[in-house]
Amino acid sequence: MPLPLSGVKTSEEQAEAKRLEREQKLKLYQAATQTVFQKRQAGELDESVLELTSQILGANPDFATLWNCRREVLQQLEMALALAELGFLESCLRVNPKSYGTWHHRCWLLSRLPEPNWARELELCARFLEVDERNFHCWDYRRFVAAQAAVPPAEELAFTDSLITRNFSNYSSWHYRSCLLPQLHPQPDSGPQGRLPEDVLLKELELVQNAFFTDPNDQSAWFYHRWLLGRADPQDALRCLHVSRDEACLTVSFSRPLLVGSGMETLLLMVDESPLAVEWRTPEGRNRPSHIWLCDLPATSLNDQLPQHTFRVIWTAGDAQKECVLLKGRQEGWCRDSATDEQLFRCELSVEKSTVLQSELESCKELQELEPENKWCLLTIILLMRALDPLQYEKETLQYFQTLKAVDPMRAAYLDDLRSKFLLENSVLKMEYAEVRVLHLGHKDLTVLCHLEQLLLVTHLDLSHNRLRALPPALAALRCLEVLQANDNAIESLDGVTNLPRLQELILCNNRLQQPAVLQPLTSCPRLTLLNLQGNPLCQAEGSSEHLAELLPSVSSILT
């Protein structure tokens, strides 16, 4: 083996030299940090602290505690130091342009200057976005600067135009656009999200279509397209009002989740034109936003000696109300608007927009033929068909879901849930048109249940032969449910089967219920008389029938 040349260090010597150098830097770093903490504890917040923290933060801008120290110093010293601080922050950003602490400190500093140079800050943002147009830290800072400087939204929208034109693959630009357009085009009475004027929406659809046809595999434009399709929110409305004489209870469903209570949404109840003070609660008893709220009624408001009682609920914030009548001799009364698919699940489409979306659908189908494994294109085709006519395109939508799952198997579970959501929406629409209280959802390969707030009046529900693993707490919204069938699923928990006041028959054959304890929620269903558990593991244990009879003494028939 040849000897190393004289004066040339071996790899071992070089490694040792680097180790010693790192140790020396670490000692200096620790010493400076310790000195800063000592001076801070002693209240010695002077320029030496700025100097020491500059040395440390210049190498590591993500030391949040030291940024706090600098803020404390700057608050005590003359703000003339602030200009030097701005220069120091720029040097830190050149070290790490995505440092949370540095951008946050710059926001803090600028907000305390008497006359900030906001134009210079906008130029700074432009420079950093020139280097990395996806730096969301810089985008956040630009939004802060634009708000402080009262930059017109139209100017900021033009800025996004310039970056998107340069590179369609810029998620931050698309996102900023989604924030600016509602500011530029506020629409009254269109929900918290609002909706864009049709001419603006059509131009945006054209822009984003150019983007995803240019680069079909980039997700930025596809996400923005999905945002455009989902712009409209349903108007505030009381969907259904139901009164039960047996349960002495009034239930109301809304178009969006509400939180009713002190300091929250206010609901007023009028009985026979007189106000009635009641306590509102959710079906599952949780104090959180819910589509469904109910209250107990006093016996005087259900007196069967009168020919009828009129109940009216007023939603003050939503500027909506609904009224129903309970006739003498009747056990229940309700009032429910017949809602179309546009009112329930999608925005109402004009002729012009429908034509544009139909054209986009055909274009996306052409793109999919060229890019058969493009998952974003496949998903957009599904969403466009949903936006146009969910029932007409139901069969074709299911075929595209099957193709999409094969292309994107890692998201198979998400796609199954999305498919289930769409199928449930379609079933609700079909039930709306038929005006029935019996709903068959069997053999649909469902993995989740959603939109249960739409099923307040359903008395019979069949969920058999699906892939459900649990019955969700939202099932408590089905206040009229009498018979629930869920055979041949994979149900392991019954936590959602609680507080169903009318449930009489529960049929759960061939599921995965393991222990009798999972049946505990059923004790809150006072009218349950028939429980069929055949084919579940818990039925195989010795003495299971006796154990179940002890757990549920009020259930007269338990089949195991």
Q: CA–CA separation, 150 vs 142, rounded Å?
A: 12
C-alpha span between 458 and 451 (Å, rounded): 13
Q: Is pLDDT of 342 > 60?
A: no
Which among 368, 389, 419 is the end of a domain? 419
Same domain, yes or no: 276 and 382: no
Mean pLDDT of 462-479: 93
Judged against a pLDDT cut of 80, whether residue 221 lies above it is answered with: yes
Per-residue pLDDT tens digits for 357-390: 898 899 899 999 999 999 999 999 999 999 888 9
User: Does residue 21 fall inside a structural domain?
Assistant: no
User: How far apart (Å, rounded) are the C-alpha atoms in residues 259 and 265?
Assistant: 6
425 in a structural domain = no
For residues 471 and 325, state if they share a domain.
no
**Residue 536 resides in a domain:** yes
Q: Say yes or no: 511 and 379 in one domain.
A: no
The answer to whether residue 343 is domain-embedded is: no
Using the predicted structure, report yes or no on whether residue 341 has a pLDDT greater than 50: no
Maximum pairwise Cα distance, the chain: 115
Single residue among 387, 419, 451 that ends a domain in this structure:
419
Query: What would the mean pLDDT of 50-56 be, rounded to a whole number?
Result: 79
Please give the helix or strand (H or E) that residue 314 lies within, else none: strand 308-315
Tell whether 2 is covered by a domain. Answer: no
Residue range 74-98, pLDDT digits in tens: 776 666 677 788 888 899 999 999 9
Class of residue 372 by CB neighbours under 10 A (exposed 0-12, middle 13-18, buried 19+): exposed
Domain edge (last residue) among 302, 336, 370: 336
State the average pLDDT for the chain: 86
- Is 384 in the same domain as 443? no
Domain that includes residue 393, residue range = 351-419
- Considering the domain boundaries, does residue 269 fall inside one? yes
Query: Per-residue pLDDT tens for 300-333?
Result: 889 888 899 999 999 988 788 999 999 999 999 9
pLDDT of residue 192: 43
Q: What is the DSSP letter of 133?
A: T
Q: Does 247 fall in a domain? A: yes
Q: Are strands 290-296 and 274-276 parallel, antiparallel or unpaired?
A: unpaired
Whether 203 and 244 share a structural domain: no
Angle in degrees, CA 152, 158, 163, rounded to 5: 135
CATH number of the CATH domain containing 110: 1.25.40.120
> CATH number of the domain that 459 lies in?
3.80.10.10
The domain total for the chain is 4
Question: Could you tell me if residue 263 is inside a domain?
Answer: yes
Do 317 and 277 lie in one domain? The reply is yes
- Please indicate, yes or no, whether residues 225 and 78 belong to a single structural domain of this protein: yes
Please indicate, yes or no, whether residues 171 and 50 belong to a single structural domain of this protein: yes
Residue partners of 323: CB distance under 8 A and separation at least 6: 241, 310, 311, 312, 313, 335
Q: What is the pLDDT of residues 1-30, one digit of tens each?
A: 455 555 566 777 777 777 777 777 777 778
- Dump pLDDT digits (tens) for 135-190: 999 999 999 999 999 999 999 999 999 999 888 888 899 999 999 998 898 876 55
Please tell me whether residues 201 and 103 are part of one structural domain: yes
**Residue 166 and residue 66 share a domain:** yes
pLDDT of 79: 61
Regarding whether 507 and 403 lie in a shared domain, the answer is no
Instruction: Tell me the whole-structure pTM to 2 decimals.
Output: 0.77
When pLDDT is cut at 50, 70 and 90, the band that residue 285 belongs to is confident
d(CA 203, CA 210): 11
pLDDT band for 351, please (50, 70, 90 cuts): low
- Domain co-membership, 456 together with 514: yes
465: which 2 tokens?
A: 């032969």
In terms of Cα–Cα distance, which of 509, 520, 518 is closest to 486? 509
